[in-house]
Structures are given as structure tokens and as C-alpha cells.
Structure 1
Amino acid sequence: MTARSRTEDQVKAALRVVEEAEATPEEKAEMLMEVAMGLQQKPQAAEDLEAALQLYALALDLCPPEQALLAARIRARRGTALLAFPAEGAETIAAARDTFEAALETLRAEGAAEEVAEAEMNLGLALQNLAGAQMARIQDAIGAYQRALRTFDRQRFPKEFAILQNNLATAFLSIPFTDERGKMREALAVQAFEEGLSVVSLIDHPSEYAMLQNNLGNALQYVSSSHRVENGLRALEAYDEALKVRSARTAPGEYANTIANKANCLANLPDDPADPAAGNAHNCAAAIALYREAMAIFQDLGEGEKSTTLQLAIAELAGETEPESLRANGA
């Protein structure tokens, strides 16, 4: 059975149950929302998210006008499906933003604090994505994250706190470095990554731990500082921590991203930090090996753009001018 036919069967079954059930419109709307959330939780294909969006729309149609809080909850869940939906352009993300903003009008008045904070966090994600397309202000995304942190504090919600710190840090780093405040934002980003890491652990929150370590490594590697070598060595440590979680077998894309980041760092570090003038031939060789490993994984995953970028990086380090020559050598 294909993913599409399996999803269609699930949707038909859900609709049949709702149609035949002796339940109020409110209860039927809740049923549809629950089924949609199940489809969305571990989608196997875009069809699962399409079906979830369809069910959320039907749930909103069924929801009685006087059940404003339920409608807001459905909208908030629909927004997360829109955020996750793979689509060209920014229209789907813009729809997610509008959906979160509509949900928050009611959630702020009637919902639980955790519901409001979750919607604010997701609104921030939508705004941050739109800011990259010049369709929103990154400062508005930062504001949404900071509002979410009023509820998602480090003591009661360590996982959410860590994710928000990661999002804040990446938002700070996305602001163009055009003035003296840029250095302050870089420092705030590094501080935010470290704040997130202070509440998650390798054992209890492996995914968040790896994400934060990888992104901390990136921030340290590219931050404007006179301590370039020191920061680079700290970045290598962060990548190695991330690689305790990310493996080629269990998370090939994330693993490839991290080893490519580590290769970038190695390529710019001297072999002997105490004697930078001695060069970095050893580190460059290690970087090329990591680039090649990452490139092969990206090729297998069909991520041609990333593969080409690494091919060019290998060519530069190897002293080549044409990437084609590397293909002949098995790069």
C-alpha cells in the first residue's frame, strides 16, 4: 500500500467515524483535530500533511461559533502543519504566520499560558523564515521568542527553553553585521546557545543537545573576534559533542551537516596552535576527508546544492580549479 493510499484510507475512516458518531459538533471537531495531529506527528510523505490540513479545515468548519477557544487551538495546530509543509516560496509560511496570529487573539484571552507560549514560539519561527525572504522583521521574531520565554523558563520547561535559546541565537546571527551592535549580537548569540546547553543533557535531550552544540560551533567559528584560534578549538569541541548524537546511520543529513561544519573549522586552524606559521597541512587533509564523506551522503540524499558546495570546497583546499578533476579522483 502506498503512502498516499494509506493516508487516504485514514482520512476516509476518520470522516466516516465523525459522520456516524452520535456526538456534538464540538466533539466532532475535536475528533478531527486529534486525527490530524496523529497524521502530522510523524509524516511519512507530504500527503500526510496535506491530509492533516484538510482535516483541520473541516474541524474549523464544524466548530460552533461559541467555541472560540477550541477554534483557536485548531488554528494553532494547523499553523504547525503549515510550517512543516514542504512548499516552494513563502506563501505557506505566510499562511502559518496569519494562522498563529489569529489563534493568539483568543489564546491570550482564554487559553492556558503554555498554549500561548507554544503559539508565540511557532509564530517566531514563521516570522524568522519570512524575514529571510524580506517579508517580515527579524525583530518581531525575536519579540515572539522573548514572550514565549516568559512561560517556558529553564526550571519547568528545559526542552522548550533550550529550543527558544537556539532560535533566539540564530535570529541574532541573521541580522546583517552593519554596525557596532553586530558584535554585541554575536556575543548574545553565543550566550544564548550556552544558556540552552545549560539546561539540556546528552542523555535526557539528545536532539536538542546536538542541535545546540552544532549551532554553537558555527557561531564560535564565524564570530568576529581576535581569538580566532581559541574560538575554532572550542568550535571543534562543540561539533564533537554534537557527533555523539548525530550518526551517519540514524541521522545522515544532520551528521553530514555537522562534519561539513567541522571540516570548515579544521581548514582554517593551524596544525599547531602554538606555532601557526607552521601551516595546517594535516588539518586540511582531515577537512578534505570530512568534506568527501559529507558530500557522498548529500549525494545519496539528493541534496545536489550542498554536494556541489562541498565539491568546490574540496577543490579549493586541494589546489584544484575545476571540480570535474575531483570526480575523476573519486571525490
Structure 2
Amino acid sequence: MNEQHLEGYLHLVQALLSCPSGEEAAILNANSELLDAGLVQVMTQVAENLAENGDKNAADFLQSVATQIIELVEKPSTTESQQDLTFLLQVLQVVSDTDADPRVFYQFLQSNLDKLDVKLSAVLQELATTLLSEANAEKAESVVSVICNFGNLIQQFPLGRINVNIELAIVAYQIGLSFFKREFYPENWALCQKNLGRAYNHRIIGQRSENLELAIKCYQEALQVYTRATFPQEWASLQNSLANAYSDRTLGVRSDNLEQAICGYQSALQIYTLTDFPAQWATTQNNLGTAYKSRIRGDKAENLEKAIGCYQAALEVRSREAFPEQWAATQNNLATVYRDRILGNRAENLETAISCYQYALQVYTRETFPSDWAMIINNVGIAYQDRIFGEKAENLENAIGCYQAALEVRSREAFPEQWAATQ
């Protein structure tokens, strides 16, 4: 190793150790010509010196980077794949350095949106395999914890492509489950199962029916640890999530799935009381109302009355002032039940439905929520089409106006199914 190369390696190492968090990837990319076996040798020596002097975090970071450079040196790869590895290393470092602070992490991701790509899922798996193969038990647990925290953060990241974020989260939780075995880490294992189930429930890639089955399986696994007696809040949360999955399930018998959903919501409400957990109670009441609205078993009229009761209960907490979006969503749900209601006066039910839809439109405007606005405008059209009060001709003109307005958003290109329904 000549003196010039050694000086370059040392300068690069110092730059990595002293730069602000988030800039390491740019530094490595700018010095790609130095990413070779010589740099690995220098990094390893510096890391050993740092560890001897008590700076374990810096030593671990350098050793992790050195490990990845070894992979790049030993395996021919493109510049793009090198950048992916470097970027993911930096991502995990930011999660670790900030204790998974979402504000700092999301700011970092926002400045690197162009690097978030679905191929990173495979890169993350390879990276984890490499890091864990060379780590002792304590270090391995720390690495996996960071990866799982990354999964939590990326799944909730509001920017970028949702499908990419969810796929990365799924890989992160799968890595977690490969390390956190139930017999040794029951709570970590259950938490990974719960989070993985949530990711599958929202997954875009793959068949919706298959993803829901995977979600249900994960939730059921988590419930083996999160029992009502030992973890009542987690148990209630899982009951609600499992009920949501059964409510949306396409495989199996639809009537059975809805009964499972109703049972799950009712179980969650044993813990989620109005007094102790008002927000969760209201959400579960809203979800239970939707299940009753769709219920196949039992008396249809009675089921719709139960749905109305659930929605009205949810609105005790979901006020427009405190929860405007949730208030509007429940108003829309309540309107749809009144539109289909069997008991009571048909004409009055339709007037109530129209009023509830109009309440919802106070929040779901075309400018802020175009898709939801179009859905509700379409629903208002249906109510006017069936309306009994008022002039029939005027009601039909109002219905036509609503459908035409909905089609301004529900284009054939953007929303083909909704476009066809409104047509």
C-alpha cells in the first residue's frame, strides 16, 4: 500500500467519522475509486483502535461499512448496486444514531426519495445476511432491532411509493422473525408478527386474497403471545386488526368471515371502553357498524339498526372538531345505512341520508380529498335518484348533476371501476 493511497484512505475514514449523520452515502459515492481491499484494511485497523479506546459506536459503524465493501470487492457488481448497498447502510445508521426518531429519519428519506426502489428489498435481505453472519449474539440483536425499527418507520412513511415502502417493511419484519425466535424472544417475535400482519394487510403487490390470508395468519400467531390476560391492549389491537382482515377477506364463506369480524370487534370492545380508550372505542364501533351493515346472517333490518347504533356511538367521540376526517367517514357510513334502511319511514330515511352525506362533504372537499369527494357525490346521486320528498323531475336532475360531478374525478384512466359504476 503506497503512501498516497494510505493518505486517501485515512482522509475518507476521517470524513465518514466526522460528517453529519445522513451524509455518509454521498461521501462514499464521491470516493468510489477508494472502495477496495486497501480501504477495508485501513477501516478494520481504525475500528480496532476505536474499540480499544472505548468508542464502540464508531468502531461498529466502520466495521459495518468495511463488511459491505468486502462484498463489493469480492463480488462483481454494478455502480448502481454499490450505491444501493451504501444507501441502505446509511439508512440503518440514521435509524440507529437517532433512536428511530421519525422526524430526523423522514427528513433524511425525503432528501433521498430517488433512491427508494423496490429492488432495495433484495439488497436489504443480502445486507442483513452479511451483517448477521459476522456479528456476535449481542451485536446481532442490535442489528436486527435497528432493521425492525426501520420496518416500522418505512411502513408509515407518507412519501415515496407506498408499494416500495411496504415491501421494505415486509423484508425487515421477516428478518426480525428469522432472529427473534418465539422460545427466546416471545415479545419481539409477537411484535414482528403483528407488524408483518399489518404490512400484508396493506400490501399492494401480489394477490389481495393471498395477502389477507398472510395477514390473518400473522395476527393469529401474535395472539399466541399477546393474550388478554398478559397484554390486554395489544390483544385488543390485534382483535381489531384481525376483524378488519376478516371483514375484507375474499376466500372462505363470506357469511362466516363477517361473523368472525363481528366477534373480533366485540372482543376488542371488552378492553377498548369509552372511558379508558375513547378513540380506539370509536374506531372499533365504526368498524363494527360496517360489519353489521354487510352482515348476511340474521335479520337484515335488525342488522342495519345495529349498524346505525354503532355509527351513532362512534360519533360521540368522532366530533368534527376533534376528528374531522373520521367524523366525515362515519357520516358517510351512517348515510349509506339510512339510504338502505328497512325500518322507519322510507322518505325520512332518505332525507337523513342526504343530510349525512352533505355533512361528510364539508370535510371531504374536491380540493383536499378528490377521490373520497367523488365517492360521496356519487352516493348523494343515488340518494336523490331514490328520493321521495320533493319534485321527482328535480330530484333526478340533481342525481344527474351529482353523477356528472363525480365523473370529473372518476375518469376511465384513473379509476376505471369507479368510472364504470358511476356511468
TM (norm. structure 2) is 0.62
Task: Give the one of 114, 117, 121 matched to 2:187.
Answer: 114
**Paired AA for residue 193 in structure 2:** E
CA RMSD after TM alignment: 3.5
- Whether the 8 Å CA contact 2:163–2:205 is kept in 1: the answer is no
- Whether the 8 Å CA contact 1:39–1:51 is kept in 2: the answer is no
Superposition deviation, residue 39 in structure 1: 2.3
- Whether the 8 Å CA contact 1:312–1:323 is kept in 2: the answer is no
Superposition deviation, residue 33 in structure 1: 2.9
1:154-181 deviation per Cα after TM superposition (whole angstroms, max 9, x unaligned): 123222112211111121122226x6x3
**Residue 65 of structure 1 corresponds to which residue in structure 2?**
135
Question: Is the alpha carbon distance of 1:131 and 1:92 closer, same or farther for their aligned partners in structure 2, counting shifts above 3 Å?
Answer: closer
Bigger CA radius of gyration? 2
Task: Give the one of 244, 251, 263 matched to 2:323.
Answer: 251
**Residue 285 of structure 1 corresponds to which residue in structure 2?**
351
Determine the C-alpha separation between the residues in 2 that align with 1:205 and 1:52. Answer: 38
1:122-159 deviation per Cα after TM superposition (whole angstroms, max 9, x unaligned): 10011122278517432221111011111111123222
**Residue 7 of structure 1 corresponds to which residue in structure 2?**
none
**Residue 235 of structure 2 corresponds to which residue in structure 1?**
161
Superposition deviation, residue 105 in structure 1: 0.9
Task: Give the one of 86, 96, 103 matched to 1:33.
Answer: 96
SS in 2 for 1:305: helix
Determine the C-alpha separation between the residues in 2 that align with 1:52 and 1:154. Answer: 42
What are the residue-to-residue correspondences of 1:162-201 with 2, within 5 Å? Answer: 162-176=236-250, 181-201=253-273
**Residue 124 of structure 1 corresponds to which residue in structure 2?**
197
Superposition deviation, residue 109 in structure 1: 6.3
Pair 1:24-2:90 in alignment: no
Question: Is the alpha carbon distance of 1:103 and 1:283 closer, same or farther for their aligned partners in structure 2, counting shifts above 3 Å?
Answer: same
Question: Is the alpha carbon distance of 1:190 and 1:99 closer, same or farther for their aligned partners in structure 2, counting shifts above 3 Å?
Answer: same
Determine the C-alpha separation between the residues in 2 that align with 1:110 and 1:225. Answer: 41
Q: Which moved more, 1:20-29 or 1:195-204?
A: 20-29
What are the residue-to-residue correspondences of 1:78-157 with 2, within 5 Å? Answer: 78-86=150-158, 87-108=160-181, 112-130=185-203, 133-134=206-207, 136-157=210-231
- Whether the 8 Å CA contact 2:22–2:94 is kept in 1: the answer is no
**Residue 5 of structure 1 corresponds to which residue in structure 2?**
none
**Residue 401 of structure 2 corresponds to which residue in structure 1?**
323
Determine the C-alpha separation between the residues in 1 that align with 2:248 and 2:205. Answer: 8
Superposition deviation, residue 65 in structure 1: 2.6
1:1-54 deviation per Cα after TM superposition (whole angstroms, max 9, x unaligned): xxxxxxxxxxx87679xxx9974128988995372533259x9xx637648999
**Residue 47 of structure 1 corresponds to which residue in structure 2?**
107
Question: Is the alpha carbon distance of 1:104 and 1:315 closer, same or farther for their aligned partners in structure 2, counting shifts above 3 Å?
Answer: same
SS in 2 for 1:235: helix
- Whether the 8 Å CA contact 2:366–2:373 is kept in 1: the answer is no
Question: Is the alpha carbon distance of 1:245 and 1:326 closer, same or farther for their aligned partners in structure 2, counting shifts above 3 Å?
Answer: farther
Determine the C-alpha separation between the residues in 2 that align with 1:145 and 1:109. Answer: 14
Equivalent pairs counted in the alignment come to 299
SS in 1 for 2:359: helix
Question: Is the alpha carbon distance of 1:13 and 1:253 closer, same or farther for their aligned partners in structure 2, counting shifts above 3 Å?
Answer: farther
- Whether the 8 Å CA contact 1:36–1:51 is kept in 2: the answer is no
Superposition deviation, residue 182 in structure 1: 2.3
Determine the C-alpha separation between the residues in 1 that align with 2:326 and 2:180. Answer: 35
Question: Is the alpha carbon distance of 1:325 and 1:149 closer, same or farther for their aligned partners in structure 2, counting shifts above 3 Å?
Answer: closer
The answer for unaligned runs of 5 or more in structure 2 is 1-18, 24-49, 62-91, 116-123, 386-395, 406-423
